[in-house]
Amino acid sequence: MADPRFFRLAGPFTVAELAARIGAELAGAADPARVILDVAPLDRATRDHLSFLANDAYRAAFRNSRAGALIAHPDAVADAPPEAALLVTAAPYRAFALAAQAFYPEPPPLAGIAPSAVVDPTAQLGEGCAVEPNAVIGARVEIGRRCQIGANAVIGPGCVLGDDVRVGANASLSHCLIGSRVRLYPGVRIGQDGFGFDYNPSGFAKIPQLGRVIIQDDVEIGANTTVDRGAGPDTVIGQGTMIDNLCQIAHNVTIGRLCVLQAQVGISGSTRLGDHVVIQGQGGLMGHLTIGDRAKIGAQCGVMKSVPADAAMLGSPAQPIQDFFRQMSWLARAAKRRGS
């Protein structure tokens, strides 16, 4: 059971209720009325727990699990322990996500404005919003319903937020328009000036950064990640995209829908990502590139040229992943064979 200092357990649920909630078929001999109290890992689950198999590396633990109920793919049913109620689905990890959300629903914001928060009188907040202590909300800000503005967060003048947005502690926003169900983790920086100036040996001249940051619905942006506003065009993050901690999104970057950026990724100015692009940790993209839909950019990859749709790249400079590994293994053999 999750630490009750931090998490509240809902339920219990019967196996039948869980099957309905997660869209799984009930299988095996178990009683649909069997009561499940909590989720647990395969090896620690007991008769009161729900667990799951989503990765074949855990097949043995699945076979031996004492869980009262198990989520599994149809292919795994034959291996299931006989005592478990089976919840069979083609997407067991997603089904587990839904089940875990049922047992540990996220508490809604505790509506109300903390007395220490500073909310400009011209700001508008929808119903059900929570503004935590010492948060600062600037002039003409518009915030939708049921938003949570974390302690010590700062929302600069004129920003617009949709419904059900969560802004983490100590985050700061300016010059941005944000959709609904967006989550900005603690320390996120949205909307500051892009890094734009005229290079010149006698000193730099700053180019006014006159664009905004547009964040579409359902986006998550990880802790201490920075997203600069556009120089003229906007910086845009597409619907449903997930961005991890400590990433850098430069001015004018456009990211498509349902992309995944792992931690410490950096994207330089004006680069455009299609939909479903995945960039692994510490990957870096130069500016003014185009990355096609569903491209996969590996960890620490350094992308200097545009990448077509569906490509998988690795290395710095980036190459198709097979070329990269072929070169690395050829080099290892050649250096060994011919001595050093």
Annotated catalytic residues are: 251
Q: Is the dihedral of CA 4, 8, 12, 16 positive or negative?
A: negative
* C-alpha to C-alpha distance for 114 and 130, rounded to whole angstroms: 8
Segment interacting with its own copies (CB under 8 A) among 26-34, 59-67, 70-78, 317-325: 317-325
Phi-psi region of 53 (alpha: psi -120 to 50; beta: other; left: phi over 0): beta
Asked if residue 306 lies in contact with residue 288, where contact means CB atoms within 8 angstroms, the answer is: no
Where helices occur in the chain by DSSP H, the ranges are 15-22, 59-63, 92-103, 321-337
Residues near 202 by Cβ (< 8 Å), separated by ≥ 6? none
Q: Among 12, 32, 41, 112, which residue interacts with its own copies (rule: CB under 8 A)?
A: 41
Q: What is the smallest separation between the CB atom of 30 and its own copies, expressed in angstroms? A: 24
- Return the number of the residue (69 or 171) whose C-beta is nearest its own copies: 171
Q: Tokens representing 49?
A: 């727990």
* C-alpha to C-alpha distance for 217 and 229, rounded to whole angstroms: 18
Q: Among 67, 71, 165, 258, which residue interacts with its own copies (rule: CB under 8 A)?
A: 258
- Return the number of the residue (28 or 65) whose C-beta is nearest its own copies: 65
Q: Among 91, 111, 113, 289, which residue interacts with its own copies (rule: CB under 8 A)?
A: 91
Q: What is the smallest separation between the CB atom of 34 and its own copies, expressed in angstroms? A: 22
Q: Among 65, 216, 235, 245, which residue interacts with its own copies (rule: CB under 8 A)?
A: 245
Contacts to its own copies from residues 212-241, by CB under 8 A: 212, 218, 222-224, 226, 228, 232-233, 240
CA distances to 25, 159, 161, 190 from 186, rounded to whole Å, are 39, 18, 17, 12
**82 touching its own copies, by CB under 8 A:** no
Q: What is the smallest separation between the CB atom of 33 and its own copies, expressed in angstroms? A: 25
**323 touching its own copies, by CB under 8 A:** yes
- Return the number of the residue (32 or 122) whose C-beta is nearest its own copies: 122
Contacts to its own copies from residues 168-197, by CB under 8 A: 168-172, 174-175, 185-187, 189, 192-193, 195, 197
Q: Tokens representing 85?
A: 């109620």
Q: Tokens representing 225?
A: 């990640």
Binding mask 279-298 for its own copies (x = CB under 8 A): --xx-x-x------------
- Return the number of the residue (20 or 32) whose C-beta is nearest its own copies: 20
Count residues binding its own copies (CB under 8 A). 110
* C-alpha to C-alpha distance for 136 and 129, rounded to whole angstroms: 14
Residues near 36 by Cβ (< 8 Å), separated by ≥ 6? 11, 12, 13, 14, 15, 18, 48, 49, 50, 68, 69
- Return the number of the residue (82 or 203) whose C-beta is nearest its own copies: 203
Q: Among 49, 146, 276, 296, which residue interacts with its own copies (rule: CB under 8 A)?
A: 276
Tell me 76's DSSP state: G
- Return the number of the residue (83 or 193) whose C-beta is nearest its own copies: 193
**305 touching its own copies, by CB under 8 A:** no
Q: Among 33, 82, 121, 201, which residue interacts with its own copies (rule: CB under 8 A)?
A: 201
Asked if residue 223 lies in contact with residue 187, where contact means CB atoms within 8 angstroms, the answer is: yes
Find, among 16, 69, 7, 78, the residue nearest to 42 by Cα: 69
Contacts to its own copies from residues 94-113, by CB under 8 A: 94, 96-98, 100-101, 103-104, 106
Contacts to its own copies from residues 130-159, by CB under 8 A: 132-134, 136, 138, 140, 150-152, 154, 156-158
Q: Tokens representing 17?
A: 């209720």
* C-alpha to C-alpha distance for 232 and 209, rounded to whole angstroms: 6
Q: Among 89, 216, 254, 268, which residue interacts with its own copies (rule: CB under 8 A)?
A: 268
Q: Tokens representing 217?
A: 């619905």
